[in-house]
Amino acid sequence: MKDWLPVFKLARKSLLILAGVLIFSLFLYFGSAHLQKQLSADLASQQAQIAAEEENLGQKQKDLDNILSHIQQFQKLQQKGLIGAARREGWVEQLIASRKQLGLPDTLAYTLKQPTPLREGAAPEDAAAATTPTPSNAPLAHNLEFELRNIHEEEFLSLLKTYEGKVLGRFRVQSCRITEPSPTGLTAQCTLRFFTMPQKPAGQT
């Protein structure tokens, strides 16, 4: 045993260095394993966050596409005269222009009634419903009544077709009556009902 003491003393420094290297290696090994585990957890968290952001971005893109689609539909309705200020003068002017274009007799008489709010379940002419308060942006009905004398039935139908194709607005033929046949033609009396939706002022919800 005593024979090993000198050797041990001589190798002590080397053994301490070796022990230090072993301890440092163990520290690196366990430290690396912990760091790898931490990095894996961070990577998984980042991937989950990226996936959530991609999903959120995809939903926002769908919302944007939906908004753009509705904007285009809204603009088309505006161009057709269904949304916004009613072009009432234009409706009358186009009726006169259509009569002239077809060369019909200058016997046109017309009356454009005041707009009436449309209420669910009630006709615009309903006096009882007219006393009920309505929102300022409620849809409106506009009755354009006109009479044209000394025409033939096919001329009258041609007038309606021509007018519908050129007038800026959408209407339906609410009522029509052809009376008083004579050698010079018939008398047509019609009510065209236009529909508009007032546009909300900016900032109003």
Per-residue pLDDT of the chain in tens (205 residues, 90 and over written 9) = 555 556 555 556 666 676 676 776 766 666 677 767 777 777 777 777 777 777 776 676 665 566 556 566 656 656 666 778 888 999 999 999 999 999 999 999 999 999 999 866 545 555 444 445 555 678 899 999 999 999 998 999 999 999 999 998 889 999 999 887 888 889 999 999 999 988 765 555 4
pTM of the model: 0.58
pLDDT at 128: 44
pLDDT at 189: 94
d(CA 131, CA 110): 27
Closest CA to 188 of 176, 198, 199: 176
Q: At CA 184, angle to CA 174 and CA 111, rounded to 5?
A: 35
pLDDT at 24: 67
Positions of E strands within the chain:
109-112, 116-117, 140-151, 171-182, 185-196
Please report, to the nearest 10 degrees, the dihedral formed by the alpha carbons of residues 151, 152, 154, 158 taken in order. 0
Which residue, chain included where needed, has tokens 């033609």?
Answer: 185
